[in-house]
A and B are shown apart, each in its own frame.
Chain A
Amino acid sequence: MMARLLDGVPRRGLGLLAGLLAVLLAAPWVANDYVLTILIIVLYSTYTGQAWNVLMGFAGQLSLGHAIYVGLGGYAAAALYVHFGVAPWLGLAAAVAIAAACGAVIGFLAFRFGVGGVYFAILTIAFAEFARIGFDHFRWVGASSGFFLPVANYTRNDLWNLRGDPTMFYYVMLALTVAAFTLCHVLLKSRVGYYWLAIREDEVAARSLGIDTFRYKMYAIVLSGGMTAVAGAFFAFYYNNLFPEQVFHISRSIELILGPIIGGIGTLFGPLVGALLLTGLSEAMQELLTALGLDAPGAKQVFYGLCLLVVVMALPGGVWPWLAGKLGVTGPRS
């Protein structure tokens, strides 16, 4: 099975991948807590980007309201923990189920009625906004004043209840990201993956070939939503508070998709490269500005936007394909 998984990946790529994994595994020993926090953010962005990529990159549907799955997953897992003492690993089942159901509803409404392209994107925004305002009034989980998870001075790591120090969260996020990668890689090589590719490239042609496009698009959105919900649950237990205004906000949806788009839609490593680049850029800008003594709030985001512009104009396929070319590791669909 390992052989089948690794089939088609160039040797050099494997080497680099192994190296990267080793570095990531060793990180907590060499990096301080601040760097670890940054890495957790990078991995989280990679994971959510990858989950979004399933819908966009693989099945070609642009979702601009993906924050809804993060929120649903987070609130579900958190509510079960706070109100019923259910551990997050069990609460995940509910989180994923609810988000998947939501994805199914959106997908059904959109795909059955032929809503695609930009209209689909706007539809997803509308649902996310609806959820945001709805949760703003949902008393059982704190409404707009926020939902707080109980915390304490941790003396030891409790993996079952996800209470612990940053190192524990780092490894959890790393594991999730690796799992997401593996899952996506497997899917890409499977029949489902090729159907998705066909649908993305030319849906009408795919349908005329007999592919049930409705069914496969539904798989994509349900899977994407479910995967994102896991990130939502992690988010809830890592930050220990949830506010509808933050969690469901359109700016979260947009942050979520910047990584995979910059990195390269539809590629496996796009989300990782994008997340690294964006987080790295963001921190570098912060350092540069502090060093220059410039204290204009908003300046960082301006540079950020300009960098995005440059990347989008100069590297339309994303940074990863270009980088992969340079590194000489292009595979069939990396």
Chain B
Amino acid sequence: MAAEIYLNVAVSGVLTGLVYGLMAVGLSVIFGVVRVVNFAHGEMMTIAMYLAIVLFNGFGLDPLAMVVPLAAVLFALGYAMQAGIINPFITRPEHSQFILLVAIALVIVNVLLIVFGPDAHNVQTAYSFDSFLVGPLIIDATKAYVGAATVAITAALFGFFRLAPLGKAIRACADNYIGALVVGLNVKRLYALTFGLGAACVGAAGSMLVLLVDVTPALGPALTLLAFIIVITGGLGSMPGAVLGGVLIGVTEAMAGLFFTPSAKSMFSFALLVLVLLFRPQGILGTRPS
């Protein structure tokens, strides 16, 4: 096979991986700070995707323009979920949390099924079929736009966590819960804010993913699993890690599909996950928990 094929596929893998990376950043924030096993992460993303579809099909609003509003909506949803339902479960054993979120996920998936039906829905914009010719490369236009938007949002997020006082407070919480309490931070509120932020990432990612992927209610659980794989591979609590993990998984799967039989390409992601769990459980960019 000619070299361009590999290059094309790799570029495509990187661009798609960036979006998944943004989704994983949301989980990294939630899992890393609030320590909640958010098994409804992918389902929340499908809510954002369906909202984007309603806005597009109903009002003609391009999903790329809806990134910020949808992020805000999901922020509110996440905040409410954490403050209202999840908070008491933080100190409970993991399996309790897990069941709570599985139940929430089950409700979300099936409500979406009742409202939208089981058929795939998608968004077809004017540029849905475009591609750029860059030398020997054919780059999917939509993926390029989405990739650029993701980079911008992720950079903004990093800036927030590094520079804004609220961001630093949240990181403090993650690093040392007791210390944060001692210092007088309102941990409960910070948790809710963090969950909201994680959900906002999901909202933004979902708004963009809907341009690349068709949504069905069943997509939720698949995205949840993918998010966990990326976060663990990239490094828990490390946002650059989540993005890196996303890109890595995106490229690995794409190349695996090219070299081997595509129907088995997910096996490589799982194999990668197992290797990471065994040999570097903190992930590629993560830090060992204290």
Q: Quick check: do A and B touch in the complex, using CB within 8 A? A: yes
**Residues of A with Cβ closer than 8 Å to B?**
56, 62, 64, 109-110, 113-115, 117-119, 121-123, 125-127, 129-130, 133-134, 136-137, 250-251, 254, 258, 261-262, 265, 296-299, 301-302, 304-306, 308-309, 312-313, 316
Report Cα–Cα, A43/B263, bound state, in Å.
Answer: 36
Contact B225 A129 (CB under 8 A): yes
Report Cα–Cα, A264/B71, bound state, in Å.
Answer: 38
Instruction: Give B55-100 interface residues, CB cut-off 8 Å to A.
Output: 85, 88, 92, 94-96, 98-100
6 CB-based A-B contacts, threshold 8 Å: A118-B37, A125-B225, A130-B271, A134-B264, A302-B107, A305-B107
Report Cα–Cα, A265/B92, bound state, in Å.
Answer: 13
Report Cα–Cα, A62/B229, bound state, in Å.
Answer: 17
In the complex, which of the residues A126, A137, A297, A312 contacts B103, with contact meaning CB atoms closer than 8 Å?
A312
- Is B2 an interface position by the 8 A CB rule? no
**Which residues does chain B contribute within 8 Å of A308, judged by CB atoms?**
99, 102-103, 106
- The smallest beta-carbon distance between B148 and chain A, in angstroms, is 31
- Is B277 an interface position by the 8 A CB rule? yes
Residue of B nearest to A144 (CB): B263
Contact A134 B94 (CB under 8 A): no
Q: B85, B114, B217: which has the most chain A beta carbons within 10 Å?
A: B114
- The smallest beta-carbon distance between B198 and chain A, in angstroms, is 16
- The smallest beta-carbon distance between A205 and chain B, in angstroms, is 17
A297/B113 contact (C-beta < 8 A), A122-B232, A129-B266 known: yes
- Is B158 an interface position by the 8 A CB rule? no
A312/B281 contact (C-beta < 8 A), A136-B263, A305-B104 known: no
**Which residues does chain A contribute within 8 Å of B221, judged by CB atoms?**
250-251
A137/B261 contact (C-beta < 8 A), A122-B228, A126-B274, A129-B270 known: yes
B96-139 near A? 1/0 per residue, CB < 8 Å = 10111011111101110110001000000000000000000000
B246-269 near A? 1/0 per residue, CB < 8 Å = 000000000000000101101100
Contact A134 B267 (CB under 8 A): yes
Report Cα–Cα, A136/B267, bound state, in Å.
Answer: 11
A312/B277 contact (C-beta < 8 A), A136-B263, A298-B114, A299-B114 known: no
- The smallest beta-carbon distance between A290 and chain B, in angstroms, is 16
**Which residues does chain B contribute within 8 Å of A127, judged by CB atoms?**
270, 274
**Which residues does chain B contribute within 8 Å of A261, judged by CB atoms?**
95, 99
Residue of B nearest to A301 (CB): B110
Contact B107 A306 (CB under 8 A): yes
**Which residues does chain B contribute within 8 Å of A313, judged by CB atoms?**
85, 88, 100
Contact B94 A62 (CB under 8 A): yes
**Which residues does chain A contribute within 8 Å of B163, judged by CB atoms?**
none
Residue of A nearest to B232 (CB): A122
Report Cα–Cα, A313/B109, bound state, in Å.
Answer: 20
- The smallest beta-carbon distance between B164 and chain A, in angstroms, is 29
Residue of A nearest to B221 (CB): A250
- Is B278 an interface position by the 8 A CB rule? yes
Contact A137 B99 (CB under 8 A): no
Contact A302 B100 (CB under 8 A): no
Contact A312 B274 (CB under 8 A): no
- Is B273 an interface position by the 8 A CB rule? yes
- B contact patch SS: helix
Contact A113 B281 (CB under 8 A): yes
Report Cα–Cα, A297/B118, bound state, in Å.
Answer: 10
Contact A123 B263 (CB under 8 A): no
- The smallest beta-carbon distance between B100 and chain A, in angstroms, is 5
Report Cα–Cα, A261/B95, bound state, in Å.
Answer: 8
Report Cα–Cα, A269/B107, bound state, in Å.
Answer: 27
- The smallest beta-carbon distance between B221 and chain A, in angstroms, is 7
- The smallest beta-carbon distance between A142 and chain B, in angstroms, is 15
In the complex, which of the residues A56, A134, A137, A304 contacts B106, with contact meaning CB atoms closer than 8 Å?
A304
**Which residues does chain A contribute within 8 Å of B270, judged by CB atoms?**
126-127, 129-130, 133
In the complex, which of the residues A123, A133, A316 contacts B277, with contact meaning CB atoms closer than 8 Å?
A123
In the complex, which of the residues B96, B263, B271, B279 contacts A312, with contact meaning CB atoms closer than 8 Å?
B96
Report Cα–Cα, A115/B225, bound state, in Å.
Answer: 18
Contact A265 B225 (CB under 8 A): no
Report Cα–Cα, A321/B228, bound state, in Å.
Answer: 33
Contact A312 B94 (CB under 8 A): no
A309/B107 contact (C-beta < 8 A), A126-B270, A130-B271, A297-B113 known: yes
Contact A118 B113 (CB under 8 A): no
Report Cα–Cα, A118/B111, bound state, in Å.
Answer: 28
- The smallest beta-carbon distance between A119 and chain B, in angstroms, is 6
Report Cα–Cα, A280/B102, bound state, in Å.
Answer: 20
- The smallest beta-carbon distance between B197 and chain A, in angstroms, is 21
Report Cα–Cα, A202/B144, bound state, in Å.
Answer: 51
A301/B273 contact (C-beta < 8 A), A109-B278, A119-B281, A316-B92 known: no
A113/B278 contact (C-beta < 8 A), A122-B228, A250-B221 known: yes
Report Cα–Cα, A63/B196, bound state, in Å.
Answer: 29
Q: B95, B232, B278: which has the most chain A beta carbons within 10 Å?
A: B95
**Which residues does chain B contribute within 8 Å of A302, judged by CB atoms?**
106-107, 110-111, 114
